[in-house]
Every structure is written in C-alpha cells, then in structure tokens.
Amino acid sequence: MPPVADHPLRYALTNELHARPAPQVPVPGTAVFLALKPVADAAARDRDADRAQLEALLDRHGAAHPAPGATHHGCQLGRLGLKWESHTEFTTYTVFAAGTPDRAFDPAGFDMLPADWLAKAPDSRMTSILFLVQPMPGSEDGSDDEDRLQRHLDDWFEAESLAVARVLDGAAIVASDFRIDPAGHIRMAVFVQPGTGPRRVGRIVQRLCEIETYKTMSMLGLARARKVGAEMGDLDRQLTALIESMARGLAGAGPDAATGGTATPLGTQLAAQEALDRLMAVSAELERLEVSASFRFGATRAYEALVHARIQALREVRYRGRQTLAEFMQRRYDPAMRTVKAAEGRLATMSNRAQRASRLLSTQVEVARSAQNQELLRSMDRRSDLQLRLQHTVEGLSVVAISYYAVGLAANLTVPLAEPLGLGRGATMALLTPLVIALVWVLVRRVRKGLSARARAAEGG
C-alpha cells in the first residue's frame, strides 16, 4: 500500500495491549512478591526514587536497565527471574527461581531480595507474598494424591479462612488463607498438573499477585470510609439540627397567636441569614470531605472491579467442598466494599441535603428581604404623605406671611391716592387685604405646580 502517516499514539496504544507479560515460573519453584507504596496519596509518590531503587538492584547483578519512562521490566538476575511493574499508586517486584526450600514457606526465601536493599526502599510495604509452586502430589506416578495435598493445606494454612480451588480448567490448584504469617508475608501455594507450562504457571502466579495487591489497595478505602464516617456523624447532627430549626422558623413565620400579628421581616431575615451562614459552613466541610475522599473512593471501586475480574479469569472449580476465592471475597471482602460504597453514598446524600436546604434558606432570605423592602416602601409612602400635608400647611402659612408684608407695601402706595377720595388708611388696607391674599395664593400655587412638573419630568427621564 502507499505510504501513510501513522497516528502519533498508534504504536504506544498497540503496545499497551502487550504490556506487563506474565513471568515464566518453573515447577517446582519459589516466588516472592513485594508491593511498595508511599504512606501518602499517589501525588506524593517519587517515581524517580522508585526507578533508582530498581536500578540499584539491577546493578548488583549487572543487568540492563529498563528504557526511559518504562512502567514494567523483566530480566534475569543470575539464577533468579525478576519482574518489575510501576502502577499509579504502587510499585511491585516479583522474583522467582527454580526449586523449593526444604521447609515450606521458609522466610529465608525472601532473601532473594537483599535485606540492605530493602532497607533503602523509598516506600512502605503494602503487601508481600511467599509462593510455593509444586507439582500436584502423586502426579509423578500419574495419579493425584489428594490426601497428601490436604495434609499440606492443614499444615500450612489457617483452616478457618483457607480458600482452595482448581483453576484454569484444572491446570492447577491454588490455596491461600490471606493471613499474614509470623514472618510478615501472605502464603500462597500452587499445585500444578503435569504438562502445564511455566508461562501458564506464571499467569496463575500473576493473577494471584494482582488479587492480593488490588484487595489490599481497595481496603484503604475502608480506612478512609471509617475516618470520613466519624466526621460525617458530627456534620449530620449539625445539618439535621439546622433543618429542624429552619422548619420551626418557617412554621413560626405565620400569624402570631398571641398578638394576632406576624413575625417582622427583619427578624425573619436575620434568623434565616444566620442559619444560612451556619449551613454554608457545614456545606464547606462536606465539600472538603468529598474532595479529600473522592480519589480514594474512586480507586477503591476500580480495585474492587479488578479483584473480581482476576478471580473470574481463574475459572475456579470447588475443591473438596472448600470455599473458593470468590466465596472468600464474598464473605470477608465484599462487606468492606459495601461499607465504602455506603459511606460514599451517605456523603453524596448529605451534600445534596445541604444544597437543598441552602436553596430553601436562600429563598426564605429573599422572601424576607422582599417583605422588608415592601415595608420600607410603605413607610416611604407614609412619609411622603406627611411631607405633602406639611407642605400644604407651610404653603398656607407662607401665603399669610407674604400677604401680611404685601398688604403693608401696597398700603404705602395706595393710601396717599385714597385719602382724596375720603378713604382712611384702615379702610384702604381692608380693601387691599383680600386682593393681595388672592394674588399671593395664585402665585404660590403656580410656583408649586411648576416645581412639581419639573420633578415629574426629571423622574421620567
């Protein structure tokens, strides 16, 4: 075909499907698994330090370093095989070798990872597993010695929590009690049928490692749920008290039975505003809890799904009436996950309650504020009426005062003219007074109407 440009991510996306191949674990063999994680969240993880730790182990054996930016690496360290993986929150090491120790699950098997190298690890141990990979007892002569296998299970594991199952169409029997032994490791045994290749055994070991790791990582959500639950209890009590107080306030905002009046808008507004401020503080705390727990709860859901997916991929078949891995998880693991989901749901429900209460209180404040504004407008109307009446009173007084002085001035002008007609000063002033008062009143009215017209024009503009 003619040359065509590749998408920049084509090879990266295709190679991602083939990332993290399973190791080839020999039979009989021993494997150790270690998962390291910083105590803080994933954001605090130092990937450069993780890579430096891996390179220090590789340098001890003269092995090649992984490519820059690689998230997985597999190589031989002399007689040992190594598989390293870097995940979002943790780093894992799987080391395996041919042969089994004289004593099953001997803690010395973990010496495949040097003690001084482990002491310099930048992160903390999240989980560690000791694997014992053996042929099926009795398979040397072509038959399965299930009684001997049962004795091994009774000797190596705690019967009360032991989970056993045939996996991958009977290719192997896997067993574990998922307990931490005195040496600090989880014990897992894999009994392999003849003809099962090392790659398939490696896939079984890898699936078991993933089940244990994802199970442990998801249990971090339970710890966070318990911590959040204690804080939610106090916030729930505060929120309930606020909502009950708000309901009583709304019920008491009606007519007063004693006085026949109603609660003042200003008092209602102040009470609602105070309740709203307290409610916003509770809402802020709930939002903080949601933000702090959202990553862990989301990661827990993802890890839980991976645990069940990996168990399903093993295609379990019950062995001698023992509980399977799926049943173990159903009885002991799923309740913890339901607790996490319940805490997450409760947190979301409380946030929704706080939001609804905030909207209701905001509406109550707005209604009280509108009532206050209406009362203010009515008060302004009353003051305007008083001012108008006062204006009319002042207007009458001003007419009298102006008329008094105007009559005096007019008398000074008309008395000399009226004396030849036989009218005295008193008679002249008596005749002038009604005329002057009427004239002054007309002039004052015209001036007031002109001012009122200009005021209305200004308001309309």
pLDDT score at 155: 93
Which is it for the CA torsion 409, 414, 419, 421, positive or negative? negative
Q: Which of 357, 331, 397, 333 is nearest to 240 (CA)?
A: 357
Percent over 70 (pLDDT), the chain: 87
pLDDT score at 112: 93
pLDDT score at 250: 58
Reported as a pLDDT band with limits 50, 70 and 90, residue 300 is very high
Number of H helices, E strands in the chain: 9, 9
Place of tokens 């990937």: 47
- pLDDT average, residue stretch 188-213: 95
Residue 365 has pLDDT above 60, yes or no: yes
Q: Which residue has the higher pLDDT, 394 or 443?
A: 443
Residue 126: strand, helix, or coil: strand
Instruction: Please report, for residues 115, 334, 449, the alpha-carbon distance to residue 346 in angstroms, rounded to integers and kept in the order given.
Output: 45, 18, 70
Reported as a pLDDT band with limits 50, 70 and 90, residue 2 is low
Residue 407 has pLDDT above 80, yes or no: no
Reported as a pLDDT band with limits 50, 70 and 90, residue 255 is very low
- pLDDT average, residue stretch 179-188: 95
Q: Which of 98, 91, 96, 125 is nearest to 20 (CA)?
A: 91
Query: Residue 356: how many CB atoms within 10 A of its CB?
Result: 11
- Distance, in Å, from the CA atom of 227 to the CA atom of 222, rounded to the nearest integer, reads 9
Contact 189, 174 (CB under 8 A): yes
- Distance, in Å, from the CA atom of 347 to the CA atom of 289, rounded to the nearest integer, reads 8
List b or e across 242-270, with b for residues whose CB sees 16 or more CB atoms inside 10 angstroms: bbeebeebeeebeeeeeeeeebebeebbe
Amino acid at 114: P
Give this prediction's pTM. 0.75
pLDDT score at 460: 63
**Mean pLDDT score of the chain:** 84
